Amino acid sequence: MSAILPPATLGMLGGGQLGRFFVLAAHEMGYQVWVLDPDPASPAGAAADRHLKAAFDDYAALDELAHGCAAISTEFENVPADTLDYLAKFVPVRPSADAVAVCQNRVAEKSFLASHGIPHAPFAPINTEADLREVSPTLFPAILKVARFGYDGKGQARVANRDEAIAAFRGFKGEACVLEQMLSLDYEISVVLARDEAGQVKCFPASENSHSRGILDVSIAPARATVCLRDSAQEIAEKIAADLGYVGTLGVEFFISRGELYVNEMAPRPHNSGHFTVDACVTSQYEQQVRALVGLPLGDARAHSVAVMVNLLGDIWFDAAGNCREPDWSRLFAIPNLKLHLYGKRHARPGRKMGHFTVIGTDPVKVLAAATAARSAIG
Ligand code: ADP
Ligand code: MG
């Protein structure tokens, strides 16, 4: 297939910040973008050439998107697989419905890892209380996670034993779940890569991620893991992409427990921990998403700088008395090697991802110190 070239129009399912960065990357390359998202205030919709404000299963809107766009991608894993299948009848859709379906359901995801010999935490699928009564006692202590629609630590309960697991399962109203053994984590890393139609892969450097209240807080790239661990993580991520027949940008989260790698989950889209690629790599994860979508050769994924990315949550919009006000951005703009990205969300809420900043440089210790100082300066 020959590449779809500018000024073609591309479609994006989902209007959050990941979609917004896709729009910005596509615009720089000369493409136009239509975004489908029901939220009238969607960050990607605001940046797009056209914002279709409709649900993901609104077939009239899907028809419009399919007829107006030369190719379509997604920025979130919970888009119905039926929607992707339907659009694929008319235009190239990348990643495919099949790949997204694996990543959007924890049972399918962990079964995929198990059947492809990829290291992961021991788990059991849970559909009924009876399943919980039968699981091996060696799984405890464990985490019960709803199979679908969990994110940022939502839809998860830490359970010490079978009784607690049964109580938590009732709390999730009997929704399908996985019960996963709790690993003792040394730290967490992720690998973002892009894979094209021909199976060529470009891997970004692995980043080291820390979370606060279940939400990604800081990413350090490259991760402070041994070269051997980073290489193995990249190899595993490449195997996952190949086994999924994946085309597009893929994020793979890993645990490192007692020095060993375990895959935690996959995101069939750019990943929050890959924001650093915008400011520190030759090609960003969003430009790679565009390139894979339109059939262009992938760009160089090499990092030209070391980077530390800090997420900015809505919490810092609130002062000690609980009043909402805009943080003093001049403090961040004063730092010459800091890149501030705000997503244009109108309403701040605690825990809501409002923006991020990336500090870049050559000395990892200095970059981390500068990012830590910048974060205390802003609240
Ligand atoms: P989410 O979709 O919310 O990102 P994850 O499965 O990645 O869900 O879990 C969120 C966080 O919870 C992980 O980044 C990790 O810190 C912790 N966690 C999840 N599963 C385990 C586990 N099996 N053992 C130890 N910690 C875990
Ligand atoms: Mg996760």
Average pLDDT, 10 consecutive residues per value, the chain (379 residues): 94 98 98 98 98 98 98 96 96 97 97 98 98 97 96 93 97 96 98 98 98 95 96 98 98 98 98 98 98 98 98 96 96 98 96 98 98 95
Write down the pLDDT at residue 345.
97
187-378: which CATH architecture?
2-Layer Sandwich (3.30)
User: Measuring from atom 21 of ligand 1, which residue has the nearest CA?
Assistant: 182
Which of 156, 209, 213, 262 is the pocket-test mutation for ligand 1 (most atoms within 8 Å of CB)? 156
- List, as ranges, residues with CB under 5 A of the ion ligand 2: 253
Write down the pLDDT at residue 179.
98
Report field, pTM of the whole predicted structure over 0.95: yes
Among all bound ligands, the one having the nearest atom to the CA of 151 is 1
User: What residues does each domain of the chain span?
Assistant: 9-93, 122-181, 187-378
Write down the pLDDT at residue 229.
97
Which of left, alpha, beta for 270 (phi over 0: left; psi -120 to 50: alpha)?
A: beta
Among all bound ligands, the one having the nearest atom to the CA of 104 is 1
The Å distance, Cα 331 to ligand 2 centre, comes to: 31
The Å distance, Cα 91 to ligand 2 centre, comes to: 30
**Cα separation of 218 and 154, whole Å?**
19
**Fold of domain 9-93:** Rossmann fold (3.40.50)
Q: What is the CATH number of domain 122-181?
A: 3.30.1490.20
Write down the pLDDT at residue 231.
97
Per the CB < 8 A criterion, the answer to whether 42 and 10 are in contact is no
**Cα separation of 338 and 332, whole Å?**
7
Q: Which residues line ligand 1 (CB under 6 A)?
A: 121, 143, 145, 150-153, 180, 182-183, 185, 188, 211, 214, 253, 264-265
The Å distance, Cα 150 to ligand 2 centre, comes to: 9
Of the candidates 95, 84, 119, 273, the one whose C-alpha atom is nearest the C-alpha of residue 195 is 95
